[in-house]
Structure 1
Amino acid sequence: MIARFANALARFALAALLLLPAAGARAAPGYVVPNYWDPSVRVERPDLGPPRVVRFLTDDEFPPLHFAAPEGGLTGFSVELARAVCEKLALTCTIQARRFDTLLDSLAEGRGDVLAAAIPVTQALRSRFAASHLYHRFPARFLTTRGNAAPELDLPALQGKRVAVVAGTAHQAFLERLAPFVQRREVPGLPAALALLRSGDAEYVFADGMALSLLLAAPGGADFAFAGGPYLESHYFGDGIAFLVRKDDLVLKRAIDFALQALHDDGSYARLFIRFFPVSPF
């Protein structure tokens, strides 16, 4: 399921990302940077012991979180955040791309020390690895035509509305369970959902906010807008993603938690987020 989710989203995100203009480091008014850190809880920096090289593992086909840069090498929000963690901790690090479906086994078998990839954290994953503090989540959003957009939109207001959604996804399950009063237009993929919205056969698209935010930032995205706020129900959309380490490397996990909080506090997290998400998915 994880691989299927990643591959489907990555194909659409890559197509949208390639259309993006060069992203600046400034956020538009009202831009939302998520905050996963409680200011009343401070993480202490642990002693990492003797110098070591920390090996990060990732995948190169899941923009904007981790992908191959046009000029070569790896980049993406997760990749650059990993580099910022290493700089904050004064660690020597390497980042290596492996095939997505081999990442968990590669970490478990010691071919790397930290996993920096879009694998949603689950209880099953936590039973196998130690997860850092969450650094990203996958909000679900409603997209509509710009003239139909409203900053406030609750589910009851969608009574009888035509909503395009990709069949077999968590977004379809969410609508089926919590908004059975909408007219679902189930389609095989996100491009088909957007086609229904353009033609007027659907009034809204309900899908992954990350992919939709890339669409909004790409040429032609000005025709559309988010309606209402993000949906983050863990039961449907997961708990989010974190850096993963083996359970015998908990000192490194605590060091990463310290670095993530420090990067949030000094604004580095926000700058990276804006760089890779020109339109906030939140």
Structure 2
Amino acid sequence: MRRQLASIATLAGIATLAGLVMLASLGMRTGGAGQAGSALAQDTAPTPAISSSGVVIPNLWDPNRRLDRPATTSLTGIRFTTTDDFPPYNFKGADGRLTGFNVDLARAICRELSVPCTIQARPWDGLIDTVAAGRVDAALAGIAITPESRAKLDFSDVYLRPAARFAARKASAAPRLDAGGLAGRKVAVAKGSAHEAYLADFFPEAVAVAVETPEAAHDALKAGTADLVFGDGVQLAFWLQSEPAANCCAFVGGPYVEPRFFGPGLAIALPPDRKDLRLALNWALDSLYDKGAFAELYLRYFPVGYF
């Protein structure tokens, strides 16, 4: 995942949406067209929860699965590692302390398992080898789940997935989001991104307006030179609430989560011989969701919501 997401500027005051979160396009094109309509989250995941503010909380856990609490006697503590340059997931706050969604999730996992933990920031380069060698117990750093990384690492269940979204100007009539409904419509999209590839495969009758950056795609939508923009949901969620957007636009339709285009999602990386830890982490993640703690974390760092 980390190699599928570009670093973005450190956020000061995420809860107040100060500044624009700039995430790069997710993933590279890894396959041809899939089954039409295979992307909507509500079609591929359990029913999501909806907060009192109306924000959809993604639900990636099987409601029919019941995990027994694993024995944690072998866990004297968990040494987590992350990076400090990947907001809103992990970054240094205004006070210089390590913070972010992944950091708070690691702390919540340790509380749930009733074990002490440490969370240390390390450089991205060499991180996979550091985890594989067992110099740390686990990494919440957006390490991509690929055949190459799986050859060296094990992974927990996926706890958060990327989602692509359409956005349109509020003054425009919402289009029908199917191949026919977008026929002839100009859709701004970042050139060379997974979003451009997905648009070409699933909405071939749309007129792709390929621009150099996601920011340029936003500008095209706001200026009216494009009817819609298609891009990363997190990036769009923060842009829609930013000063540059000037309340011009809003999401239309639902999330698209096709993993062949946008990646399988975020998971905790750990050494391949730590089955005990993997089982404990999966139980903790499942329990945090059931208790509403995951929802609280999601709303803290994604108050706009991108699902």
| TM above 0.5 | yes
% same residue = 40
Alignment partner of 2:280 out of 255, 260, 272: 255
| Paired residue type of 2:146 | T
2: CA distance, partners of 1:223 / 1:193: 14
Q: Secondary structure of the residue that 1:197 maps to in structure 2? A: helix
- Which residues in structure 2 correspond to 1:115-194 (within 5 Å)? 115-148=139-172, 150=174, 153-194=177-218
1: CA distance, partners of 2:143 / 2:234: 15
Q: Secondary structure of the residue that 1:96 maps to in structure 2? A: strand
- Which residues in structure 2 correspond to 1:18-37 (within 5 Å)? 18=12, 20=14, 22=16, 27=51, 29-37=53-61
Structure 2 equivalent of residue 230 of structure 1: 255
| Cα displacement (A) at 1:220 | 4.8
1: CA distance, partners of 2:200 / 2:67: 41
| Cα displacement (A) at 1:168 | 1.1
Change (3 A) 1:18 1:51: closer
Q: Say whether 1:204 aligns with 2:228.
A: yes
Contact 2:15 2:303 in 1 (8 A): no
Change (3 A) 1:30 1:149: farther
Structure 1 equivalent of residue 30 of structure 2: none
| Cα displacement (A) at 1:138 | 0.4
Cα RMSD after superposing both structures: 2.2
Alignment partner of 1:48 out of 72, 87, 91: 72
Alignment partner of 2:101 out of 61, 74, 77: 77
| Cα displacement (A) at 1:154 | 2.9
| Cα displacement (A) at 1:185 | 1.2
| Paired residue type of 1:94 | T
Residue by residue, what CA displacement relative to the aligned partner does 1:77-125 show, whole Å, maximum 9, x if unpaired? 1111111001111111111112223321221122211010123323433
5+ long unaligned stretches in structure 1: none
Contact 1:137 1:241 in 2 (8 A): yes
2: CA distance, partners of 1:151 / 1:278: 26
| Paired residue type of 1:147 | A
2: CA distance, partners of 1:59 / 1:185: 35
2: CA distance, partners of 1:2 / 1:266: 28
5+ long unaligned stretches in structure 2: 18-49
2: CA distance, partners of 1:53 / 1:199: 53
Q: Secondary structure of the residue that 1:64 maps to in structure 2? A: coil
Scaled by the length of structure 2, the TM-score of the pair is: 0.83
| Paired residue type of 2:152 | R
